[in-house]
Structure 1
Amino acid sequence: MALLGCGVVGSEVVRLLREQAADLSARVGVPLEVAGIAVRRLDRDRAGIDPGLLTTDAQSLVTRDDVDLVVEVIGGIEPARSLMLEAMKTGKSVVTANKALLAEDGETLFAAAREYGADLYYEAAVAGAIPLLRPLRESLVGDHVHRVLGIVNGTTNYILDQMDTHGAGFNEALEEAQALGYAEADPTADVEGFDAAAKAAILAQLAFHTPVTAADVHREGITEVTAADVSGAKEMDSVVKLLAICERVPDEDGRNGGRGVSVRVYPAMIPRSHPLASVRGAFNAVFVEAESAGSLMFYGAGAGGAPTASAVLGDLVAVARNRVAGSRGPVEVTYAKLPVLPMGETITRYYVQLDVADRSGVLAAVAEEFARQDVSIQAVRQEGRGDEAQLVVVTHRAPDAALSATVDRLHKLDIVREVASVMRVEGDE
């Protein structure tokens, strides 16, 4: 086998291959041997790695005759895409952890796997060591998946957990996450939701057999989550989590074949009674709701060198077994080609906290703005504070565009001094 990349994950894969060589050989039926490791620089210190295996010529490595499996852990779009396509073109099986590439151009990789009869496995691309993609690809392939809902980014979950349990501010919680190694020096991909959006795209492709890219995913990060949002959630006996949500949108007659799919990532309030509310620290958890199987929950470490390497190794054993048996694993077929619906058509609920003038007629004026957009109010709470008052409105489910338009109109009311908090509400269906 050839390994492309020898960073945190790649070096951990090599270590596990070395330490578990006898067991892995017994499980596969033949030894798993590293023929070469492609790196950008040869002069870096790589403890435990045989320098004789290192090369900067990745192209030559993936086309060598003595290589029949390729593991890609360099990340990014290029040269990873070209190298994986070249490997499959020459009949080699590929294991990758590259969520960015799969979310941007998974269709090209899937097509190459079909055309050249190659295996393409990528369990490590979403939720680290949690066995999530394989159940979607194999165990649930005979079922009808309605919804995938979960926490797929450990960094943001850690930050929001600190804000909820310790009253930390966003910046304080982020600095602590960086100090502990949960967040990168540049945390943009995590806190702005890009990482979670890429994973949501991959999950939606598998769950609904339809092409979805990261660009199709409605994305909001957590940088705008405030103490008022967290406090408001507590008052509702809820907690704020960054959620990835992928769901089929049924036809008007209720058939789940689908008007399309909704794929989105945003911070939302969920009741503390919901299992996702208890997911603490940097852990991940994902619910899969299927027609026959019902609700399934997958929980565990979602990131880090060892958990990700564990998922890579699991895929490596699977493709090696296929190779020995002369068979191949499942290949994605995005036959459904359902449209990805715009966020405005998504049916959601809102929590809105307003600072308003404490005088008669305020509640009626606010309620009128919701009625104008045909948004039904589920609950209202008002507290007076001198000549000011705090008004909290929780809506019933309505199109997101209508809810957004309502909030825009509330901003313009003279009686509204501040829209202190606006957040979607999930998980209490």
Structure 2
Amino acid sequence: MIEYRNLRVALLGAGSVGSQTARLLLEHADELASRVGAKLELAGIAVRNTSAKRDVELPAELYTTDAEALITSSDIVIELMGGIEPAKSYIIQALTSGADVITANKALLAEHGDELFEIADQVGAQLYYEASVAAAIPILRPLRESLAGDRINRVMGIVNGSTNYILDRMDRFGDSAEDAAAVALELGFLEADPTLDVEGYDAAQKVTILASLAFHTSVPVASVHREGIASVTLEQVRAAREAGYVIKLLAIAERLADPDTGVESISARVYPALISRQHPLATVHEGKNAVFVEAEAAGSLMFYGAGAGGVETASAVLGDLVSAARRHVAGGPGVAQKAHASLPIVPVGSIETRYQFTLEVADEPGVLATVATVLASHRVSVETVIQTASTDTEASGTATLVIGTHTAREASLSATVTELANLGVVTAVKSVLRIEGI
């Protein structure tokens, strides 16, 4: 019988992810010990109410309301409470007491990550957070370690399973946005209050973490341009399908270079966009996540899998736990996360992209020429134009123009749409979507 040293593990929170993490840690204790070279003892689970009913049955003696005492008596602390406070205070207490910390708290990292990493660096502890983005998909460790010697130019992905489920049902089954959201809520893909998902806040927090790692630069969540899917209609989804596209809510972080000076900067943004049905991200269905990484030497890489779920996220948490435990066994200080590049972050108006916009216009001679004049005045080049007469009896005398542009500066494209909306011959701007992934 091998005698292992003992490492005490504190768990903060017993929700869906926390309960599954505790279950797996208890069930696979012997196997994990053999991988680590130390016994991982679940010292306790800090909760608000020890008698609350939970989905996973765990030993009652593990539950405690004294989180601080549990933290100070443990070697590794797993924070799965969510929210900013008291999670932030507990993590700081754990780090300053010498414990390594594992968290899946994307909101906390997006808002206060720099502060927490600085504390960890000062005391020689380590903060692990693989589960904070895309749950079971191993994407942060590859960015931090496997691709550390490469130069990453772009990270683009679907990092919110709830919105992907809704858009996927609209695309594949013809559901309205309301019907698709109702199904997502019923199946547990969507919270009762869907704001964080539908308005893009969740994805913005995650792209903050991805961008900071990919470009070795602190990227505040406030600097991320954010648009949700609330304005995406079934009509837009159907039109996208007919044109060979699918609409996805994309989180994008990319390295930009000024064509004149070569000075580099970063763009981080979240918005619904058109993706060619030939692009790998177009095949990501239901609540799955996928992240597409473009690196200078490694080329294009795609990471795909379950982006949410209690047991799936617990898998990533336990992966971090094994890494933390191995570090304790080997000894030595934690590896600092340095945001050494300090590249400037530019507003969305500075990026270059492509647009597809749909206009309802007067069905009369000269309209197309008038529209083309506006585009030319903003130095926006047209790639495709499709004009059809309206079949709506209430809109008789009108036609529909679907215009696809070549790549242009976002600010110019936005100004173009604004001016077109004010033209007398344009009765409505029915849809404006960016085209990505070309």
**1:219 match:** 226
On the 8 A contact 1:228/1:421 being kept in 2, the answer is: no
On the 8 A contact 2:121/2:335 being kept in 1, the answer is: no
Q: C-alpha offsets along residues 286-316 of structure 1, whole Å, 9 cap, x if unaligned?
A: 0111111111100000000011000000000
* Deviation of the 1:384 alpha carbon: 2.4
**Which ranges of structure 1 fall in alignment gaps of 5 or more residues?**
none
On the 8 A contact 1:72/1:96 being kept in 2, the answer is: yes
Tell me, in whole angstroms, the C-alpha distance in 1 between the residues paired with 2:356 and 2:334: 45
Instruction: Write the letter of the residue equivalent to 2:67.
Output: A
Q: Normalising to structure 2: TM-score of the pair?
A: 0.95
* Deviation of the 1:372 alpha carbon: 1.6
Instruction: Write the letter of the residue equivalent to 2:71.
Output: V
Return the match for 1:422 from 429, 432, 435: 432
Q: Does 1:5 align with 2:10?
A: no
* Deviation of the 1:254 alpha carbon: 7.8
**2:278 match:** 273
**2:32 match:** 24
Q: Does 1:359 align with 2:364?
A: yes
How many residues matched?
Answer: 424
Return the match for 1:411 from 413, 417, 421: 421
Tell me, in whole angstroms, the C-alpha distance in 2 between the residues paired with 1:259 and 1:129: 32
SS at match of 1:31: strand
Q: C-alpha offsets along residues 110-150 of structure 1, whole Å, 9 cap, x if unaligned?
A: 10111010011100000000000000010011111100001
On the 8 A contact 2:134/2:307 being kept in 1, the answer is: yes
**Which ranges of structure 2 fall in alignment gaps of 5 or more residues?**
1-8, 391-395
On the 8 A contact 1:218/1:265 being kept in 2, the answer is: yes
Q: C-alpha offsets along residues 45-91 of structure 1, whole Å, 9 cap, x if unaligned?
A: 24422222222121222112xx1000000011111111111111111
Q: Does 1:108 align with 2:115?
A: yes
On the 8 A contact 1:319/1:328 being kept in 2, the answer is: no
SS at match of 2:81: coil
Structure 1 segment 159-170 matched on structure 2, within 5 A:
159-170=166-177
Tell me, in whole angstroms, the C-alpha distance in 2 between the residues paired with 1:24 and 1:147: 35
Q: Does 1:234 align with 2:217?
A: no
Return the match for 2:58 from 37, 45, 49: 49
Instruction: Write the letter of the residue equivalent to 2:346.
Output: L
Q: C-alpha offsets along residues 312-357 of structure 1, whole Å, 9 cap, x if unaligned?
A: 0000011001100113553210011111101111111110111111
* Deviation of the 1:227 alpha carbon: 1.8
On the 8 A contact 2:121/2:334 being kept in 1, the answer is: no
Matched-pair identity in %: 56
On the 8 A contact 1:229/1:422 being kept in 2, the answer is: no
Tell me, in whole angstroms, the C-alpha distance in 1 between the residues paired with 2:373 and 2:398: 20
Tell me, in whole angstroms, the C-alpha distance in 2 between the residues paired with 1:97 and 1:139: 21
On the 8 A contact 1:145/1:208 being kept in 2, the answer is: yes
Tell me, in whole angstroms, the C-alpha distance in 2 between the residues paired with 1:411 and 1:58: 57
Instruction: Write the letter of the residue equivalent to 2:34.
Output: A
**2:348 match:** 343
On the 8 A contact 2:165/2:184 being kept in 1, the answer is: yes
Alignment RMSD (CA, Å):
1.2
Structure 1 segment 266-415 matched on structure 2, within 5 A:
266-385=271-390, 387-415=397-425
Tell me, in whole angstroms, the C-alpha distance in 1 between the residues paired with 2:360 and 2:53: 58
Tell me, in whole angstroms, the C-alpha distance in 1 between the residues paired with 2:405 and 2:80: 45
Name segments (4+ residues, structure 1) moved above 4 Å: none
Q: Normalising to structure 1: TM-score of the pair?
A: 0.97
Tell me, in whole angstroms, the C-alpha distance in 2 between the residues paired with 1:286 and 1:223: 22
SS at match of 2:49: coil
Tell me, in whole angstroms, the C-alpha distance in 1 between the residues paired with 2:209 and 2:191: 23
